[in-house]
Structure 1
Amino acid sequence: MKTAVHLIDDRTPGGVMRMVSFLTSAPDPTCRHSVLDFQDWRRLYPSPDIIVSHLAVSWRNLPMLLAMRARFPRSRMIHVEHSYTQSFTALNVANRRRFFNLLRTSYSVFDSVICVSEAQATWMRSRSLVALHALETCNSIVDFTAFSNVPPAGSRPRRLGLIGRLDRQKGFDIAIKAFRRLEGLELELKIFGSGSEEHHLKQLAKGDTRIKFFGHSATSSDIYAQVDAVLMPSRWEAFGLVAAEAFAAGRPVLAANVDALKEPDRKGITLVPGCGAGIWAKGLKSFCEKQIKLTPMGRGDADAWKQKMLGKWRDNLAGNVISP
């Protein structure tokens, strides 16, 4: 049986850790999976057949990636890009030439780079960040079968949810400011998650009794049972696992027009063409006045999707995918 080691550099609860946990715990008759903190990579012995990076590549960890490549020349090395996108670069990178040099150099260490959305892959191709033969696309994955048990939502969104890390990336500050501008509608805003922006977000929400914080929940399906719709005002989003979960739970999504969230094949999403509180308030008001009826994904469909995506991920990790 082959061995695959998944390297991580951040165990903060969120989409990346949930996906890694699912991939490594799902029964796999062909491969034994494990998870290792990147700082402990030198403990790897014997050489694994497959090394999967779920890291945020940086100038700081580039020397270690090069050393790992030299130490394990026969291991298949794969990088899954969870972090960087076109919108991330536009908002956060001052010296783009230097940043793109970092990405090209880091990605060249690996046998393949997996993008988690087609939007991300299109951006990488446009910037020639990865050799075309080494670039693959495979959406993020978790087990959606539990969402089939979520009761249907009301036809008009009244209980709105913000779900995920309380981090600048997720744009929850935009949603709170927009929500506070809406009056005369019987709405609730429920915020599920934890993170560095918690104090700031609570200050923005202070005095509005319609806004409540519930902290992190280990059971995602329970969260979606408490809301009628989900807001995703993300500043950048490589995939947007919450949007996929919401669709599986039969919850419509109001989302920012960025990266993977604006892909035409994403279902159940209404886009807001901007990131200001004013345009979000306008979009939110219109969204809440509409009748939107979605039904949770059936258990059979969810299980079939899970098996299909697991198969695709395993083919990618094993190198069984033929690039176009």
Structure 2
Amino acid sequence: MTIYHLIDDAGFGGVNRMLDHLIRALGHDAERHEVVRIKRGQFSPPRLENASHIVSHLSVCWKNMPLMTALRARYAETPLIHVEHSYSERFVAARVENRDRFETLLSAAYALFDRIVAVSAQQGRWLGRKFVGADRLAVIEPCVELDDFHAVPDRIAGRKTVIGAIGRFDTQKGFDILIEGLRKSDRQDIELHLYGKGDEEKRLRKLAGNDPRIVFQGYAESPAAAMASCDVIAMPSRYEPYGLVALEAMAAGRPVIASRADGLAGHIANGAAGVGDNTPDGWAKFFNELDINDFRRGAVSRRKQAKEAEQVFAERWLRLLGDLTERSHQFLMAA
């Protein structure tokens, strides 16, 4: 019994780390998980011997539609699952100009799969309203290996409060909002430490100017080590289907301040602080009113929540795969 995971993302980002964790968490003697690398835009699906399930982590784009269509045709009796890692309601508002064309693409792609997996309840509600019936939709929040984050010691109070922001330097992440917010703030006992790299770095450095409170730390080889140096983690994203950094911060016992973009609203419901107005003025107001002592409590509870999230992740994947196996057997017997 082999479960194949198809992916066209070559980077060592959240999707690949989630897959690594999924394989470690679910793989056993009777059930093998195998990752298959796909070149975006290739026409023919790979030969997948003895496939019990096929899970797509592919980008839904016009370039990949021939491959997805051929995959459905070749494996007509094999349960096909697609995990939607990329798109969300706020993504559409921020990035999509021709919405009719975009919605046609998603509707056509999702129709090829037996199940669509949303990575947050918020994304799931959007998918359910627009594209997928409740009988074909599942919600499984991602998880990665969290041991390094659980091992991070509680932060000892210092003279300054360090706000950490970790991720790609991309407009999606909203680090420009954070920088401008701190520059508008009067607080001199707060530092903003930015961990990452990307196309926006030059612009972000220009926005930061010579403000000594803003420190560019470069790419974080170890996100857990970066979090160990921070008191709070900030996530001012403009859109975010889930927000894996928030889960990692919880495992490290660090409080999170976030926008309400898509899946981040779910983290706020689970204990993160909402910034409210995700603008420079909104963040400036939050910084000016911040009392770090209000956030220091609750580290044990946050770590416990992260442990529970690991368990729920595995349980939901097992349930989904089991349900589709049962349906597939019923279909074959009826045929």
TM-score when scaled to structure 1?
Answer: 0.89
Partner-residue secondary structure (3-state), 2:62: coil
Measured in 1, the distance between the counterparts of 2:177 and 2:268 equals: 25
Larger Rg: 2
Corresponding residue for 1:271?
A: 274
Partner-residue secondary structure (3-state), 1:7: strand
Residue 300 of structure 1 and its aligned partner are, at CA, apart by 7.8
Corresponding residue for 1:251?
A: 254
Q: How does 1:184-263 map to 2 (within 5 A)?
A: 184-263=187-266
Is residue 133 from structure 1 mapped to residue 135 from structure 2 by the alignment? yes
Higher deviation after alignment, 83-92 or 205-214:
205-214
Residue 85 of structure 1 and its aligned partner are, at CA, apart by 1.0
Partner-residue secondary structure (3-state), 1:259: coil
Partner-residue secondary structure (3-state), 2:18: helix
Corresponding residue for 1:313?
A: 317
Q: Which amino acid aligns with 1:216?
A: Y
1:178 and 1:278 in contact (8 A); partners too: yes
Corresponding residue for 1:146?
A: 148
Partner-residue secondary structure (3-state), 1:319: helix
Partner-residue secondary structure (3-state), 1:49: strand
Corresponding residue for 2:330?
A: none
Measured in 2, the distance between the counterparts of 1:298 and 1:233 equals: 20
Partner-residue secondary structure (3-state), 2:290: helix
More helix by share: 2
Q: Which amino acid aligns with 2:10?
A: R
Residue 188 of structure 1 and its aligned partner are, at CA, apart by 1.7
Residue 87 of structure 1 and its aligned partner are, at CA, apart by 0.8
Residue 235 of structure 1 and its aligned partner are, at CA, apart by 0.5
Higher deviation after alignment, 291-300 or 225-234:
291-300
Q: Which amino acid aligns with 1:100?
A: E
Residue 193 of structure 1 and its aligned partner are, at CA, apart by 2.0
Measured in 1, the distance between the counterparts of 2:267 and 2:244 equals: 16
Q: Which amino acid aligns with 1:160?
A: I
2:173 and 2:236 in contact (8 A); partners too: yes
1:230 and 1:254 in contact (8 A); partners too: yes
In structure 2, do the counterparts of structure 1 residues 32 and 234 end up closer, same or farther at CA, with 3 Å as the change threshold?
same
Q: Which amino acid aligns with 1:246?
A: A
Residue 108 of structure 1 and its aligned partner are, at CA, apart by 0.6
Gaps of 5+ in 1: none
Corresponding residue for 2:90?
A: 87
Corresponding residue for 1:38?
A: 38
2:161 and 2:292 in contact (8 A); partners too: no
Superposed CA deviations along residues 226-276 of structure 1, whole A, max 9, x for unmatched, are 100011000011111111221222211111122121237733311123332
Measured in 2, the distance between the counterparts of 1:148 and 1:46 equals: 38
Gaps of 5+ in 2: 327-335
Measured in 2, the distance between the counterparts of 1:265 and 1:226 equals: 23
Q: Residue 76 of structure 1 is aligned with which of 79, 82, 101? A: 79
2:236 and 2:278 in contact (8 A); partners too: yes
Q: How does 1:4-43 map to 2 (within 5 A)?
A: 4-26=3-25, 28-29=27-28, 30-39=30-39, 42-43=45-46
Measured in 1, the distance between the counterparts of 2:101 and 2:205 equals: 37
Structure 1 runs (4+) deviating above 4 angstroms are 154-157, 296-305
In structure 2, do the counterparts of structure 1 residues 172 and 5 end up closer, same or farther at CA, with 3 Å as the change threshold?
same
In structure 2, do the counterparts of structure 1 residues 312 and 289 end up closer, same or farther at CA, with 3 Å as the change threshold?
closer
Corresponding residue for 2:180?
A: 177
Superposed CA deviations along residues 188-232 of structure 1, whole A, max 9, x for unmatched, are 211122222223222322312332223333433212111000110
What percentage of residue pairs aligned between the two structures are identical? 37
Partner-residue secondary structure (3-state), 1:159: strand
Corresponding residue for 2:58?
A: 55
Measured in 2, the distance between the counterparts of 1:76 and 1:197 equals: 40
In structure 2, do the counterparts of structure 1 residues 182 and 78 end up closer, same or farther at CA, with 3 Å as the change threshold?
same
The Cα RMSD (Å) is 2.7
1:254 and 1:287 in contact (8 A); partners too: no
1:152 and 1:296 in contact (8 A); partners too: no
Higher deviation after alignment, 42-51 or 238-247:
42-51
1:159 and 1:227 in contact (8 A); partners too: yes
In structure 2, do the counterparts of structure 1 residues 33 and 153 end up closer, same or farther at CA, with 3 Å as the change threshold?
same
Measured in 1, the distance between the counterparts of 2:90 and 2:128 equals: 15
In structure 2, do the counterparts of structure 1 residues 99 and 49 end up closer, same or farther at CA, with 3 Å as the change threshold?
same
Partner-residue secondary structure (3-state), 2:51: coil
